[in-house]
Amino acid sequence: MARIRPVTKVSKELLGLLNDAIARELQVVVQYMWQHVQWSGVKGFAVKEALQSIAIAEMKHAEAIAERLYYFDGVPTTKPTPIFVGTTLKEMMAQNVKDEEGAIKLYKKIIAKATADGDETTVLMFEDILRQEEDHHDTFSTLLEDI
C-alpha cells in the first residue's frame, strides 16, 4: 500500500536509535511483567504492583516509538534486548536500575539526534518518555535501597 510521505525527513541513524529504543522497551515489558509474577516474600508483596504498572507503561512506550518509526517507513523490531528476570528481589531491582539508566542515556541521545534532524515531534515524545524513565529509575533505586 502506498504510504503518504512524511513532511519531516530524518536520518537513518535516528531510525536505528528508535529501533534500539523499541528493543529495550520490549525487554523491560517482559522483564518487569515476569518479575511481577515471580516476586517473593513480604518485600516482594510491596513491589509487585509497581512492577506491573511500570511494565504496562513500558508497553505504551514501545507502541508509541514503533508508531513514530513506522511513520518514517521504518520497520519496528520484534526482538527484545536480553531479558534478565533475576531470582532475588535485590537482583531484580539492581538490574532494573541499570536498565532504566540505559534508557535514560539512550533517550537523551535520541533527543539530541532528533533535535539535530529538526524532528520536534520525536523530541517532544522522548522528553515525555524520559521523564517517566527517570521516575522508574527513582522508584527502583528507592526499592533497592530498602531491600
Asked if 61 touches Fe ion (CB under 5 A), the answer is yes
* Number of shown-chain residues binding Fe ion (CB under 5 A): 5
* Closer of 25 and 119 to Fe ion (Cβ): 25
CB burial of residue 1 (10 Å; 0-12, 13-18, 19+) = exposed
What are the Cα distances from residue 24, in Å, to 48, 97, 104, 117, 118? 21, 13, 11, 23, 24
Asked if 36 touches Fe ion (CB under 5 A), the answer is no
Counting other chains too, the contacts that 41-49 makes at CB distance below 8 Å and 24 or more residues apart are 41/89, 43/89, 43/146, 43/147, 44/89, 47/89, 47/93, 47/143
* Rg value, the chain, Cα: 16
By CB under 5 A, which span of 25-33, 41-49, 108-116, 138-146 interacts with Fe ion? 25-33
Binds Fe ion (CB under 5 A): choice among 133, 139, 140, 143: 133
Asked if 136 touches Fe ion (CB under 5 A), the answer is yes
Taken in order 129, 132, 137, 143, the sign of the CA dihedral is negative
* Closer of 5 and 62 to Fe ion (Cβ): 62
Q: CB of residue 61 vs Fe ion: minimum separation in angstroms? A: 4
Asked if 58 touches Fe ion (CB under 5 A), the answer is yes
Q: CB of residue 97 vs Fe ion: minimum separation in angstroms? A: 11
Q: CB of residue 128 vs Fe ion: minimum separation in angstroms? A: 11
Residues near Fe ion (CB under 5 A) are: 25, 58, 61, 133, 136
